[in-house]
């Protein structure tokens, strides 16, 4: 299981930090892309990709969506 | 596996019963979020329908980036809080809840400030999209803050420590992340397009 | 008593909410009262006051502040305040919506009285609009909520062997949001009504009188009822099934409720969003629908129909379930093609979300949207057809037991066939452009929803009446009700197709004299249809008060709700029932019984 309660508190907190850093990097990339690009279709595509990736990371790692079908009491 | 058929009636084991309730509540929460997300999606789609991808050049881009970062950071602290509670670390969990509330308040303040300095009116199409979408989102942030405050006030004495007892914290934190996910889409939709 | 406290707190909340707003407005140099804005602010506060008063505080919210929730009373009193038992809530929904149904039906009688002759009889044009609008939204509310609210709540937990719904408190909350909806609609009528029907199209809805605002607030609340109910059913059906109740053994009514709930929880936001945008346009001056500023009224139609087309499947999918249930038990045959029906129900859920623009062929939307929406709309007749084949296959060569519920179920098949076939003309762009906004549409819609869902509703009502009330209804009165209603219904709506083809527009208080003969006939038939409900109401009241006691299983049906007493005990089942076979194995050699009822002692070991 990728995000259960196993692995101890420190390990989980470390994983949370990594996810957060990735999200922060993506946000900065979005901002830089937006101020530097002039082509709207390309911009929309890139922003949609970035937002999709951020949404996926938050729902999977922060919101534990997989526990909906895996449960969490099984370690 | 946990997903195998699970049944309604009193489990002989109270812990198993508590986990059963958590599973039901988790599904209910997610269904609510999907439903609520549809509302946000309709507003976002309406923005493109009436205003295309145009944005107002007077937007304060740095302020937008700042509040976006704040909300992301608050999502991270909410994650830390939940993880701490799940491992019985109530003290750290409470600190992180407080940090989340603080950043949430700053976010709302940032939005309010942005409204006060906006150089476009709600009657323009971009203004219509901007004020209605940020307003609806801010409303969800405020309700999230209320939930966080209730959880924080009740979290003393190890009430939400480990196992199924952590669920109230988890529920509020999931809601908070949901508010952040909405902003993940609203931020580029409202600020970053051309 | 609780209702009185709720009303008082609602008034207090309203005065407080509008007072604070008025204070702010006065300090800004504006007038104290602005009808649109004051209602928009006062109503949510009043709503909270109401919920606190009827028991939401005493039985629930007090826990959030460290208090202890009270224990609900027993007896008749519990029907008049906050209660979390699904059986109590089912009856509350049923009675409330039957009353609203009769009330909205009465406005239909007034409308038919007005339309007896060309020229104005009873109403002014404004009053006609309000009556037509109230009839529309009242009946839509009944149609959306009564199957799931009354029978879903009462029957689904029993049929799956559960003790209650997954979220009993949310269930109580969603019921107690209903009375404010009715009260707001009536207040809207009293302060001058509104003109936009139940659809609230801009630009009229943005410009018209303030009754519109109350309508919007009421219907947004009603959306919340629908969403919370839908979520509750989905969670209940997924997680509260008894041991052995696999997805393949679920009674078909449960499947219908499940499919309807999927639509309710996902699409209802569309109506709420559209109405919210109208409120924003009216109250804070946004431009969603102001064409002059770049907004677009067509946006509303997209958003609105994105919900409101799937909404008809929220109405009819549970109705399909109930009808098939009655047909199978009363034909003493297995439900024909059970798995195909389940697939068809889910197929309708899937397609329902991509057909909405067939309501908009004449709206001026983009031309390239016409063909795909035509094709997608016609595709939905494939799963619907499967359900029909199942209904026919089930009664085929069966031993039909012609009691009142069965009559209504058979009438459903006939009516819905007419509704479905006439729908083809409205799905096809070339014919729709002629028929759009005529009485043809009115007739088609009433054949699907009244002829379909409401007939199914009465099938369900008579079928489950003994279980829910513990009394047997009067069969003779039931049959009189059926025959008058069935004949009256045909006589009203078949001529409406004709008058629609001839071009008579709907929603208009007056019409050219050429249509007078048709309309007089329709009106008299309408009164006949109305009379049938007198027999219905008399039957319900008399049977409930002094009907003979119902036995546990008057229909000899196999599903779980009939294996317990009528009405069921407080926790539904004495012990844990275990499911060991399908629900409709009538006459199947060596089939195991649907359920083995547990005993209280056996539960300890489960």
Which residues in chain B have their CB less than 8 angstroms from residue A26's CB?
none
In DSSP terms, which residues pair with C579 in a beta bridge? C595
Q: Is the pLDDT of residue C328 over 50?
A: yes
Q: Is the pLDDT of residue B129 over 60?
A: yes
Q: Do B5 and C243 touch (CB under 8 A)?
A: yes
Tell me how many degrees the CA angle C33-C34-C36 measures, rounded to the nearest 5. 140
- Which pLDDT score is estimated for C274? 95
> Nearest chain A Cα to B180, which residue?
A58
Q: H or E element: which one contains C596?
A: strand C595-596
Q: H or E element: which one contains C196?
A: none
Confidence band (pLDDT; 50, 70, 90) for B2?
very low
**Largest distance between two CA atoms of chain C:** 83
Residues B37/C233, Cβ–Cβ less than 8 Å: no
Q: Do A72 and B188 touch (CB under 8 A)?
A: no
- Across chain B, the runs of DSSP E, i.e. the strands, are none
Select the residue from B9, B131, B143 to test the C interface by mutation, using most C Cβ atoms within 10 A.
Answer: B9
Confidence band (pLDDT; 50, 70, 90) for C598?
confident
Confidence band (pLDDT; 50, 70, 90) for B161?
confident
Tens-digit pLDDT profile for residues C97-111: 999 999 999 999 999
Tens-digit pLDDT profile for residues C123-156: 999 999 999 999 999 999 999 999 999 999 999 9
Q: Given the structure tokens 């209804």, which residue do they identify?
A: C473
CA distances from C512 to B52, C516, C517 (A): 45, 7, 11
Interface of B with C in 35-94 (CB under 8 A): 35-36, 38-39, 42-43, 46, 49-51
* Residue C541 CB neighbour total at 10 angstroms: 11
Q: Which of B5, B50, B121 sits opposite C288 (nearest CB)?
A: B50
Is the Cα dihedral C560, C563, C568, C571 positive or negative? Answer: negative
- Report, as an integer, the average pLDDT of C34-61: 94
B13/chain A closest Cα distance in angstroms: 14
CA C147 to chain CA centroid, Å, is 6
Tell me the backbone φ, ψ of residue C46, rounded to 5 degrees.
Answer: -60, -40
Range of the domain at A26: 8-70
Confidence band (pLDDT; 50, 70, 90) for C67?
confident
Interface of C with B in 52-111 (CB under 8 A): 64, 66
> How many CB contacts within 8 angstroms connect chain A with chain B?
107
Tens-digit pLDDT profile for residues C197-229: 999 999 999 999 999 999 999 999 999 999 999
The ipTM value here is: 0.93
> Nearest chain B Cα to C284, which residue?
B122
Tell me how many degrees the CA angle B62-B66-B72 measures, rounded to the nearest 5. 145
Helix and strand element counts for chain C (H, E): 22, 2
Q: Do B38 and C299 touch (CB under 8 A)?
A: no
Confidence band (pLDDT; 50, 70, 90) for A7?
low
- Report, as an integer, the average pLDDT of C530-559: 94
In DSSP terms, which residues pair with C595 in a beta bridge? C579
Select the residue from C86, C239, C278, C280 to test the B interface by mutation, using most B Cβ atoms within 10 A.
Answer: C239
Which residues in chain B have their CB less than 8 angstroms from residue C606's CB?
9, 12
Residues C421/C440, Cβ–Cβ less than 8 Å: no
- Judging by beta carbons within 10 Å of its beta carbon (0-12, 13-18, 19+), is residue B11 exposed, middle or buried? middle
Q: Is the pLDDT of residue B162 over 90?
A: no
CA distance C315 to C448: 10
Which residues in chain A have their CB less than 8 angstroms from residue B84's CB?
9, 13
Confidence band (pLDDT; 50, 70, 90) for B26?
very high
DSSP code of C569? Answer: P
Domain count, chain A: 1
Q: Is the pLDDT of residue B8 over 70?
A: no
**Largest distance between two CA atoms of chain B:** 64
Confidence band (pLDDT; 50, 70, 90) for C63?
confident
The answer to whether position A3 is within a domain reads no
**SS3 at position C578:** strand
Residue B88 tokens read as: 């019985």
Q: Is the pLDDT of residue A72 over 90?
A: no
Chains C and A share 3 or more Cβ pairs within 8 Å? no
Confidence band (pLDDT; 50, 70, 90) for B58?
confident
CA distances from C575 to C558, C587, C600 (A): 18, 28, 4
- Which pLDDT score is estimated for C600? 53
Which residues in chain C have their CB less than 8 angstroms from residue B9's CB?
163, 242, 576, 603, 606
Residues 6+ apart with CB under 8 A from C199: C136, C304, C308
Can you spell out the DSSP letters for C150-164? IIIHHHHHHHTT-SS
CA distance C170 to C175: 9
- Which pLDDT score is estimated for A27? 95
Residues 6+ apart with CB under 8 A from A8: B87
Residues 6+ apart with CB under 8 A from C494: C443
CA distance C536 to C326: 19
Confidence band (pLDDT; 50, 70, 90) for C309?
very high
> Nearest chain B Cα to A56, which residue?
B181
DSSP code of C551? Answer: P
Q: Is the pLDDT of residue C353 over 70?
A: yes
CA distance C508 to C506: 6
Share of chain A above pLDDT 90, in %: 71
| Burial B105-141, CB ≥16 within 10 A → b, else e | ebbbebbeebeeebebebbbbbbbbbbbbbbbbbebb
CA distance C157 to B50: 45
C328/chain B closest Cα distance in angstroms: 27
Residues B172/B101, Cβ–Cβ less than 8 Å: no
CA distance C274 to B43: 9
- CATH code reported for the domain at B73-194: 1.20.120.80
Report whether CATH 1.20.210.10 matches the domain C83-559.
yes
CA distance C336 to B160: 51
Say whether the peptide bond before residue C447 is cis (omega within 30 degrees of 0): no
List, in sequence order, the alpha helices (H) in C240-337: 252-283, 297-331
**Largest distance between two CA atoms of chain A:** 50
Tens-digit pLDDT profile for residues C364-378: 888 999 999 999 999
Contact status of B194 with chain C (Cβ, < 8 Å): no
Interface of A with B in 30-49 (CB under 8 A): 30-31, 33-35, 37-38, 40, 43-44, 47-48
Q: Is the pLDDT of residue C323 over 90?
A: yes
Confidence band (pLDDT; 50, 70, 90) for B12?
low
B45/chain C closest Cα distance in angstroms: 10
> Nearest chain C Cα to B30, which residue?
C231
Looking from the CA of C192 toward its CB, the CA atoms found within 13 Å total 8
Contact status of A58 with chain B (Cβ, < 8 Å): yes
Which residues in chain C have their CB less than 8 angstroms from residue B35's CB?
227, 230-231, 265-266, 268-269
Residue C295 tokens read as: 């907004």
Residues C173/C185, Cβ–Cβ less than 8 Å: no
Tell me the backbone φ, ψ of residue C553, rounded to 5 degrees.
Answer: -135, 70
CA distance C397 to C207: 59
- Report, as an integer, the average pLDDT of A46-69: 95
- Which pLDDT score is estimated for B7? 45
**SS3 at position C571:** coil
- Which pLDDT score is estimated for C576? 87
Can you spell out the DSSP letters for C341-397? HHHHHHHHHHHHTT-GGGG-TTTT--GGGHHHHHHHHHHTHHHHHHHHHHHHHHHTT
Contact status of A21 with chain B (Cβ, < 8 Å): no
Q: Which of A5, A35, A55 sits opposite B181 (nearest CB)?
A: A55
DSSP code of C549? Answer: B
Q: Is the pLDDT of residue A73 over 60?
A: no
Confidence band (pLDDT; 50, 70, 90) for B179?
very high
Q: Do A68 and B27 touch (CB under 8 A)?
A: yes
Mean pLDDT of chain C: 93
- Which pLDDT score is estimated for B72? 97
Residues 6+ apart with CB under 8 A from C581: C249, C591, C592, C593, C594
Q: Which of B30, B79, B164 sits opposite A62 (nearest CB)?
A: B79
Contact status of A60 with chain B (Cβ, < 8 Å): no
The answer to whether position A34 is within a domain reads yes
The answer to whether position A1 is within a domain reads no
- Which pLDDT score is estimated for B119? 87
Confidence band (pLDDT; 50, 70, 90) for C519?
very high
Tens-digit pLDDT profile for residues C18-42: 999 999 999 999 999 999 999 999 9
Residues C564/C509, Cβ–Cβ less than 8 Å: no
Contact status of C122 with chain B (Cβ, < 8 Å): no
Q: Given the structure tokens 């509104």, which residue do they identify?
A: C194
* Residue C599 CB neighbour total at 10 angstroms: 10
Q: Is the pLDDT of residue C173 over 60?
A: yes
Q: Do B69 and A24 touch (CB under 8 A)?
A: yes
Residue C271 tokens read as: 């109506």
Which of C573, C563, C554 is CA-nearest to residue C462?
C554
Q: Do B177 and A72 touch (CB under 8 A)?
A: no
The answer to whether position A19 is within a domain reads yes
Q: Do B83 and A9 touch (CB under 8 A)?
A: yes
Sorted by where each begins, the domain ranges of chain B are 73-194
Which of C128, C261, C279 is CA-nearest to residue C206?
C279
Tell me the backbone φ, ψ of residue C163, rounded to 5 degrees.
Answer: -85, -30
Contact status of B81 with chain A (Cβ, < 8 Å): no
Q: Do A63 and B65 touch (CB under 8 A)?
A: no
Which of B32, B103, B41, B39 is CA-nearest to residue B66?
B103
CA distance C172 to C167: 9
B122/chain A closest Cα distance in angstroms: 24
Tens-digit pLDDT profile for residues C80-94: 999 999 999 999 999
Q: Which of B20, B35, B51 sits opposite C265 (nearest CB)?
A: B35
Contact status of C246 with chain B (Cβ, < 8 Å): yes
* Residue C488 CB neighbour total at 10 angstroms: 20
CA distances from C342 to C252, C346, C419, C593, C595 (A): 8, 6, 22, 22, 21
Give the chains touching C; criterion: ≥3 Cβ pairs < 8 Å.
B
Which of A68, B29, B33 is CA-nearest to residue C266?
B33
Which residues in chain A have their CB less than 8 angstroms from residue B30's CB?
65, 68
C471/chain B closest Cα distance in angstroms: 29
Tens-digit pLDDT profile for residues C461-474: 999 999 999 999 99
> Nearest chain A Cα to B71, which residue?
A24
Q: Do A27 and B61 touch (CB under 8 A)?
A: no
- Which pLDDT score is estimated for B5? 41
Which residues in chain B have their CB less than 8 angstroms from residue A5's CB?
86-87
Q: Do B7 and C243 touch (CB under 8 A)?
A: yes
B67/chain A closest Cα distance in angstroms: 12
Q: Which of B8, B24, B39 sits opposite C163 (nearest CB)?
A: B8
């Amino acid at each position: 299981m990728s995000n259960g309660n196993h692995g101890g508190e420190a390990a989980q907190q470390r994983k949370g930090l990594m996810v957060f850093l990735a999200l922060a990097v993506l946000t900065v990339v979005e901002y830089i892309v937006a101020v530097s690009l002039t082509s709207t279709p390309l911009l929309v595509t890139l922003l949609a990709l970035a937002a999709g990736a951020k949404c996926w990371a938050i729902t999977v790692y922060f919101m534990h969506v997989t526990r909906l079908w895996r449960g969490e009491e099984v370690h | 596996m946990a997903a195998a058929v699970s049944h309604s009636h009193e489990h002989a084991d109270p812990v198993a019963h508590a986990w059963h309730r958590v599973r039901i509540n988790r599904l209910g929460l997610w269904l609510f979020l999907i439903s609520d997300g549809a509302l946000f999606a309709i507003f976002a789609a309406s923005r493109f329908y009436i205003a295309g991808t145009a944005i107002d050049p007077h937007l304060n881009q740095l302020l937008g980036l700042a509040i976006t970062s704040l909300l992301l950071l608050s999502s991270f602290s909410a994650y830390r809080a939940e993880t701490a509670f799940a491992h019985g670390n109530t003290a750290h969990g409470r600190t992180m809840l407080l940090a989340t509330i603080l950043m949430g308040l700053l976010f709302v303040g940032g939005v309010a400030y942005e409204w006060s300095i906006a150089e476009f009116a709600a009657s323009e199409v971009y203004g219509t999209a901007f004020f209605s979408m940020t307003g609806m989102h801010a409303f969800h942030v405020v309700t999230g803050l209320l939930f966080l405050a209730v959880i924080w006030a009740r979290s003393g004495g190890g009430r939400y420590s480990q196992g199924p007892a952590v669920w109230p914290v988890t529920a509020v934190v999931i809601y908070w992340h949901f508010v952040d996910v909405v902003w993940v889409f609203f931020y580029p939709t409202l600020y970053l397009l051309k | 008593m609780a209702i009185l406290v709720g009303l008082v707190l609602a008034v207090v909340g309203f005065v407080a909410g509008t007072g604070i707003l008025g204070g702010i407005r006065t300090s800004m140099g504006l007038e104290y009262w602005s009808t649109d804005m004051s209602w928009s602010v006062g109503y949510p506060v009043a709503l909270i006051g109401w919920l606190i008063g009827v028991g939401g505080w005493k039985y629930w919210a007090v826990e959030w502040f460290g208090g202890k929730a009270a224990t609900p009373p027993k007896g008749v009193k519990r029907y008049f305040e906050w209660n979390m038992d699904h059986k109590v809530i089912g009856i509350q929904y049923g009675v409330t919506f039957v009353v609203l149904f009769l009330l909205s039906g009465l406005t239909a009688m007034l409308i038919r009285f007005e339309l007896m002759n060309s020229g104005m009889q009873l109403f002014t044009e404004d009053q006609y609009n309000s009556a037509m609008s109230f009839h529309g939204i009242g009946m839509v509310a009944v149609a959306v909520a009564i199957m799931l609210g009354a029978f879903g709540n009462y029957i689904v937990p029993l049929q799956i062997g559960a003790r209650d719904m997954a979220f009993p408190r949310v269930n109580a909350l969603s019921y107690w949001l209903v009375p404010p909806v009715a009260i707001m609609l009536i207040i809207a009528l009293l302060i001058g009504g509104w003109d936009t029907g139940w659809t609230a199209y801009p630009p009229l809805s943005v410009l018209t009188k303030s009754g519109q605002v109350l309508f919007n607030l009421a219907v947004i609340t009603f959306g919340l009822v629908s969403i919370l109910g839908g979520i509750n059913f989905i969670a209940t059906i997924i997680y509260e099934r008894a041991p052995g109740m696999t997805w393949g053994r679920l009674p078909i009514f449960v499947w219908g409720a499940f499919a309807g709930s999927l639509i309710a929880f996902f699409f209802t936001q569309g109506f709420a969003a559209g109405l919210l945008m109208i409120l924003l346009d009216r109250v804070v001056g946004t431009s969603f629908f102001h064409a002059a500023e770049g907004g677009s009224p067509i946006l509303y139609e997209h958003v609105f129909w994105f919900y409101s087309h799937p909404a008809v499947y929220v109405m009819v999918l549970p109705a399909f379930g109930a009808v098939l249930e009655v047909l199978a038990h009363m034909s003493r045959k297995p439900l024909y093609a059970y798995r195909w029906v389940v697939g068809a129900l889910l197929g309708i859920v899937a397609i329902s979300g991509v057909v909405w623009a067939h309501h908009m062929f004449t709206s001026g939307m983009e031309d390239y949207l016409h063909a795909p929406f035509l094709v997608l709309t016609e595709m939905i007749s494939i799963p619907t057809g499967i359900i029909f084949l199942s209904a026919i296959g089930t009664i085929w060569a069966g031993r039909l037991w012609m009691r009142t519920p069965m009559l209504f179920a058979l009438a459903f098949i006939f009516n819905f066939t007419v509704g479905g076939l006439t729908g083809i003309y409205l799905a096809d762009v070339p014919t729709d452009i002629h028929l759009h906004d005529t009485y043809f549409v009115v007739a088609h819609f009433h054949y699907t929803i009244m002829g379909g869902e409401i007939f199914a509703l009465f099938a369900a009502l008579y079928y489950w009446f003994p279980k829910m009330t513990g009394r047997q209804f009067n069969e003779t009165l039931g049959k009189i009700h059926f025959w008058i209603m069935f004949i009256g219904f045909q006589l009203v709506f078949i001529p409406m197709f004709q008058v629609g083809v001839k071009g008579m527009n709907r929603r208009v208080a007056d019409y050219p004299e050429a249509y007078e003969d048709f309309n007089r006939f329709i009106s008299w038939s309408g009164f006949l249809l109305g009379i049938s409900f007198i027999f219905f109401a008399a039957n319900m009241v008399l049977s409930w008060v002094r009907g003979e006691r119902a036995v546990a299983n008057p229909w000899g049906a196999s599903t779980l709700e009939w294996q317990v007493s009528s009405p069921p005990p407080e926790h539904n089942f004495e012990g844990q029932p275990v499911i060991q076979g399908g629900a409709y194995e009538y006459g199947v050699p060596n089939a195991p019984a649907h359920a083995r009822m547990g005993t209280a002692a056996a539960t300890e070991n489960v």
